[in-house]
Amino acid sequence: MNSPHTLYIGVSTKMYMGYARSLAWLEQLVAEVDSRPALAAGRVVPFVIPSFPVLPAAAGLTAGSPLVLGAQNCGWSDGPWTGEVAPSMLAELGVGLVEIGHAERRRYFAEDDAVVALKVGAAVESGLAPLLCVGEAEECAPEAAAEIVFHQIKAAVSGDWSLAARLVVAYEPVWAIGAPEPASAEYVSMVVGTLRSALAQHGLAELPVIYGGSAKPGLLPRLSGVSGLFLGRFAHDAANFGRVLDEALALTN
């Protein structure tokens, strides 16, 4: 999935929708994607991450569409792990990427850097692209935020920078998740720019780094050096997802 200058536009439902509503919304999302033939060129990659029970039906709905299917989490292997979902099973279902290390998983489910690293390795081994969620807990100077994020990425790949090349990084300042407004475009651009300078020392200056945290239409054109948006509740209106796709397509023309 990784390619220089590709923009990624995605959305997660978290646990906001029931089963029937999820499927109805997915149909609307697929319609938004399929009504934009320019997406077939691959310069803009749309993805959707519904809850686990929806994945088999979602795979059918997205078949033949440019819309990449993702999962909200995974276990670190198959085997005796009651209640977990192995990345190998996700791959069987047609999942292309898996969200790992979201701030809610870290905070409420006590997932530390070691657990995140296990999941990243397992996802890559199963052929999935890890969507690695990183971000500082409190607003700080952009340089300080970039250093925190850099060390989170390093920990997630256990210092193996060749593994990092398989990532899509979702930069989500924890303080901006669920906020009325996203972090300012200037702040995000400065954090990502500083992060890219650090990643460049490992040959990863063009690693996809997308922004999440109350992201909404109108933000993407104001960002610099950012590889797309990871949307939340604002894209639970499928038309808003379409608006952001149009912004991304305009930027890639």
- The average pLDDT across 184-193 equals 97
Task: Specify the pLDDT at position 123.
Answer: 98
Tokens coding 227: 């590889």
- The average pLDDT across 20-26 equals 98
Exactly one of 102, 111, 136, 236 is catalytic; name it.
102
Residues 134-167: tens digit of each pLDDT: 999 999 999 999 999 999 999 999 999 999 999 9
- The average pLDDT across 7-21 equals 97
Task: Specify the pLDDT at position 183.
Answer: 95
Q: Give me the phi and psi of 170, to 5 degrees please.
A: -105, 105
3-state helix, strand, coil in the chain (%, to 5): 45, 15, 40
For the question of residue 172 being annotated catalytic, the response is yes
2 band by pLDDT with thresholds 50, 70 and 90: very low
Exactly one of 32, 99, 136, 172 is catalytic; name it.
172
81 band by pLDDT with thresholds 50, 70 and 90: very high
7-252 under CATH 3.40.50.1820, yes or no: no
- The average pLDDT across 8-35 equals 98
Distance CA 117, CA 212 (A): 21
Task: Specify the pLDDT at position 5.
Answer: 82
User: Would you give the distance in Å from CA 49 to the centre of its chain?
Assistant: 9
Distance CA 13, CA 161 (A): 30
C-alpha distances in Å from residue 32, one per residue of 144, 166, 234, 252: 38, 28, 15, 18
For the question of residue 202 being annotated catalytic, the response is no
The full set of domain ranges for the chain reads 7-252
